Amino acid sequence: MRVAEISLPAIRHNVHRIRELTGGAVIAVMKANGYGHGAVHCARAAIEAGAAIIGVADLEEALALREAGIDGPILCWLHGVRVDWDAAVDAGIEVGISHLSQLEGVAAAAGRAGRTADVQFKLDTGLSRNGAGVEEWTDLFARGAELVRSGEIRVRGVFSHMANAGEEHDLVQAARFDEALALLRGAGIEPEFIHLAASAATFARPGLYYNTVRVGMAVYGCSPFPDRTSAELGLIPAMTLRSEIVGLRAVPEGTGVSYGYNHVTQGGTTLALVPMGYADGMPRALNGAGATVAIAGTHCPIVGRIGMDQCIVDVGSLARKVSVGEPVVLFGDPSTGVPPAEVWSEVLGTIVYEVVVGIGPRVLRVAVDHLPGAPDEDVLVPAAGDRSGEPVSQRFDVSDPERMHELGVELGGRLAAGDLVILTGPLGAGKTTLTRGIGEGLGVRGPVTSPTFVLARTHPSLVDGPPLIHLDAYRLADAAELDDLDLDFDGSVVVAEWGAGMLEERGSWIEIVIERPTGSTAAGGALEDEDLGEELIEPRVMTIAGYGPRWADGVLP
Ligand SMILES: *Cc1c(COP(=O)(O)O)cnc(C)c1O
């Protein structure tokens, strides 16, 4: 009843976007449980999209990710006085070093373990927070060079964090960072990862990328600036906060609503009970602020005081009758027609970071493999300025594999060279059955099988039409790797599994999401192997959305 739905394609899209923008390496910051999004699935998605390192604040966070199976480089930089350096070295965690004492601690642990510890120097260039001060640099780097020579440490990187206090101050920090770099090189150390910019500087200071950026908020798709939207930055907010109507009450004019009666109905209306309150991170200050939630495509006002567990929404203005169980979106990607999280941060007079990271522990974090807005909200009217034009969305209840196949044949019959279909759905959802149908509708040579063992398989036409390219985008790190495959997109029909967030740049496309009807399922699908016994044991819901001019009138009749 309380769900923070996290779109992994959105996370992947955002990491791609940052990589494209900066042209360098990306350290994806997953501290505080991935800014409240769930660190493990977000870290996985970020790595899939090419993040070089996962960054967290504490060693405890780093170890938890390692235990959860995140095998790649993990960097942590804020240490308690009793930090367990042995655990860090054992788990192969990179540590940010702010003091000589930390350097000695980790080097000693490396000595005990007979291993080399990976470290990055964390420097204070003007934030006056964590990081080695200017006066420590010379000694720190000299000792670092000794420990490199004796094999206890490897210096993987050097970094500093910005105060975002305006351009002039940013440039002063960058100049200090340059001094530090010169000192470090003078000591004979050339680090691989050099990073100063976090999300704000990544979008505001292209001169300060060095060779790496270290981004948190932008990975989750929120804008680090109060006056620029996610869409303006090319980002997709990954979190959709959902609940449902659990009660409805018709009330007459003059009814007092919630504690203190500071809302009294102006006329007869219907009140909906939504089980989301301030324990879940919903600000009490929303009361009387004119904030809304989205129900059945309409923005309905939150009325009366917010309780610890619940709030009340006036649904009197809804054109049609709502019922108990109706989905409620509290915030999400505004380009899908729902309120953005920024409404809450504005009301609170804070930054959106505090809103998403403050979503309470009772709210279930569910990773989904579709972009925000698909498929539950396809009834919502996309707002003006939607990143993709207004998709025309159709929904099908698919009761069995025959129906899935039939829909594929029907779709295949309407596709032409240059068309792109992005297909998303969990293991065993019926993606291969659908693609087989598409192949039949197109008249290409089979057999169409799950693309488990190859990245792309081409099925030539038997009827002098375009070939079908069946692509498994799941294992592609990024758009560049896709380009390396040198596929003939223009001369073929391409069906890409898991391509969401990577291929949309191509103009018009069709996005198909197959789901179990009860809603979203956990992410996964690396072991997609539908040929070994794919069965549609339960019915599916399939959403077909056509994006761009080619599909302006819908995909299927
Ligand atoms: C949190 C944090 C970041 C990420 O900041 P964003 O503004 O979310 O990109 C980067 N570096 C350090 C040291 C941090 O503490």
Whether 45 maps to a domain, the answer reads yes
Whether 248 maps to a domain, the answer reads yes
Cis ω on the peptide bond leading into residue 447 (within 30° of 0)?
Answer: yes
Whether 385 maps to a domain, the answer reads no
Each residue's pLDDT tens digit, 46-100: 999 999 999 999 999 999 999 999 999 999 999 999 999 999 999 999 999 999 9
365 in a known ligand binding site? no
Whole-angstrom Cα distance, residue 233 to residue 248? 39
Distance (angstroms) between ligand 1 centre and the Cα of 222 equals: 13
Nearest-atom number in ligand 1 for the CA of 57 is: 15
Do both 343 and 476 map to the same domain?
A: no
Residue positions annotated with a catalytic role: 31, 259
Name the residue with tokens 């992994």: 8
Whether 62 maps to a domain, the answer reads yes
Cis ω on the peptide bond leading into residue 375 (within 30° of 0)?
Answer: yes
129 in a known ligand binding site? yes
Do both 75 and 150 map to the same domain?
A: yes
Chosen domain end from 338, 359, 380: 359
Chosen domain end from 317, 335, 359: 359
Distance (angstroms) between ligand 1 centre and the Cα of 545 equals: 36
Whether 2 maps to a domain, the answer reads no
Whole-angstrom Cα distance, residue 341 to residue 331? 5
Indicate the number of domains in the chain: 3
Site residues for ligand 1, CB cut-off 6 Å: 29, 31, 77, 161, 198-200, 214-218, 224
Do both 161 and 309 map to the same domain?
A: no
DSSP states of 36-71: TT-HHHHHHHHHHTT-SEEEESSHHHHHHHHHTT--
Do both 319 and 439 map to the same domain?
A: no
> Would you state the pLDDT for residue 124?
98
Whole-angstrom Cα distance, residue 206 to residue 484? 27
Whether 466 maps to a domain, the answer reads yes
Calculated CA dihedral for residues 30, 32, 38, 43, nearest 10 degrees: 10
Give nearest CA residue, ligand 1 atom 6.
216
Encode burial over 217-229: b for 16+ CB neighbours within 10 A, e otherwise.
bbbbbbbbbeeeb
Distance (angstroms) between ligand 1 centre and the Cα of 197 equals: 9
Domain of residue 464 covers: 391-551
Q: 279, 427, 359, 302: which is closest to 3 by C-alpha?
A: 359
333: left (phi over 0), alpha (psi -120 to 50) or beta: beta
Do both 94 and 209 map to the same domain?
A: yes
Q: Enumerate the β-bridge partners of residue 25.
A: 212
Do both 150 and 258 map to the same domain?
A: no
Whole-angstrom Cα distance, residue 426 to residue 430? 9
Give nearest CA residue, ligand 1 atom 13.
161
Distance (angstroms) between ligand 1 centre and the Cα of 57 equals: 9
Whole-angstrom Cα distance, residue 457 to residue 497? 12
DSSP states of 141-183: HHHHHHHHHTTSEEEEEEEE------HHHHHHHHHHHHHHHHH
Give nearest CA residue, ligand 1 atom 4.
216
Distance (angstroms) between ligand 1 centre and the Cα of 94 equals: 16
Do both 426 and 400 map to the same domain?
A: yes
CATH number at residue 296: 2.40.37.10
Ligand 1 pocket mutation pick from 21, 120, 203, 214 by most atoms within 8 angstroms of CB: 214
Ligand 1 pocket mutation pick from 11, 17, 27, 29 by most atoms within 8 angstroms of CB: 29
Do both 400 and 514 map to the same domain?
A: yes
162 in Cβ contact with 198 (< 8 Å): yes
Do both 191 and 329 map to the same domain?
A: no
Residue 364: strand, helix, or coil: strand
Do both 205 and 261 map to the same domain?
A: no
Name the residue with tokens 């069946």: 470
Chosen domain end from 188, 221, 254: 221
Whether 478 maps to a domain, the answer reads yes
Whole-angstrom Cα distance, residue 278 to residue 307? 6
Ligand 1 pocket mutation pick from 35, 161, 225 by most atoms within 8 angstroms of CB: 161
Do both 252 and 188 map to the same domain?
A: no
Give nearest CA residue, ligand 1 atom 12.
161
CATH number at residue 28: 3.20.20.10
Whether 481 maps to a domain, the answer reads yes
Nearest-atom number in ligand 1 for the CA of 202 is: 9
Q: 483, 404, 10, 412: which is closest to 219 by C-alpha?
A: 10
Give nearest CA residue, ligand 1 atom 7.
199
Strands 540-547 and 509-515: antiparallel
Q: Per residue of the chain (557 residues), what is the pLDDT tens digit?
A: 999 999 999 999 999 999 999 999 999 999 999 999 999 999 999 999 999 999 999 999 999 999 999 999 999 999 999 999 999 999 999 999 999 999 999 999 999 999 999 999 999 999 999 999 999 999 999 999 999 999 999 999 999 999 999 999 999 999 999 999 999 999 999 999 999 999 999 999 999 999 999 999 999 999 999 999 999 999 999 999 999 999 999 999 999 999 999 999 999 999 999 999 999 999 999 988 889 999 988 999 999 999 999 999 999 988 667 899 999 999 999 999 999 999 999 998 999 999 999 999 999 999 999 999 865 443 333 222 233 345 677 888 888 888 899 999 999 999 999 999 998 887 778 888 999 999 999 999 988 887 666 778 899 999 999 999 998 777 676 667 777 788 888 899 999 887 766 676 667 889 898 887 553 343 333 333 344 344 556 778 888 988 877 887 788 88
Q: Which strands form 364-368's sheet, in the order they lie side by side?
A: 247-251, 269-274, 311-314, 298-303, 292-295, 327-331, 239-244, 3-7, 364-368
The helix-helix angle for 8-22 and 39-48 (nearest 10°) equals 50
Distance (angstroms) between ligand 1 centre and the Cα of 31 equals: 9
Nearest-atom number in ligand 1 for the CA of 122 is: 13
Each residue's pLDDT tens digit, 174-223: 999 999 999 999 999 999 999 999 999 999 999 999 999 999 999 999 99
Distance (angstroms) between ligand 1 centre and the Cα of 373 equals: 28
Whole-angstrom Cα distance, residue 2 to residue 297? 19
Nearest-atom number in ligand 1 for the CA of 217 is: 8
Nearest-atom number in ligand 1 for the CA of 224 is: 7
The C-alpha angle 280, 286, 291, rounded to 5 degrees, equals 110
Whole-angstrom Cα distance, residue 39 to residue 29? 9
CATH number at residue 521: 3.40.50.300
Do both 215 and 289 map to the same domain?
A: no
